[in-house]
């Protein structure tokens, strides 16, 4: 997969884009959002197609409940 956080976005199409963690649509374009955290030494990413989907996501990060 091409890096979806790249500023170029030239090689990212709907098939190679990560899926939105809320609705399952491709997370592409200027509206996309990404949440990243470290869990047990591993980087975990959740991608979203829009701020609305990001806001609707039930936050699963360990620190979210604190």
DSSP string, 6-66: -S--TT--TTTSPBPTTT-SB--STT-EEEEEEETTEEEEEEESSHHHHHHS----GGGG-
> How high is the pLDDT of residue 30?
87
> How high is the pLDDT of residue 6?
57
> How high is the pLDDT of residue 3?
58
In a domain, 35, yes or no: yes
In a domain, 30, yes or no: yes
In a domain, 52, yes or no: yes
Provide the domain limits for residue 22: 16-56
In a domain, 2, yes or no: no
- The number of folded domains in the chain is 1
pLDDT by residue, tens only, the chain of 66 residues: 555 555 545 567 788 889 999 999 999 888 899 999 999 999 999 999 999 999 999 999 987 655
């Amino acid at each position: 997969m091409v890096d979806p956080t790249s500023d170029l976005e030239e090689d990212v199409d709907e098939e190679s884009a990560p899926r939105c963690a809320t609705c399952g649509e491709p997370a592409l374009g200027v509206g996309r959002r990404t949440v990243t955290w470290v869990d047990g030494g591993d980087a975990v990413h959740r991608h979203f197609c829009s701020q609305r989907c990001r806001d609707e996501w039930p936050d699963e990060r360990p620190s979210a409940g604190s």
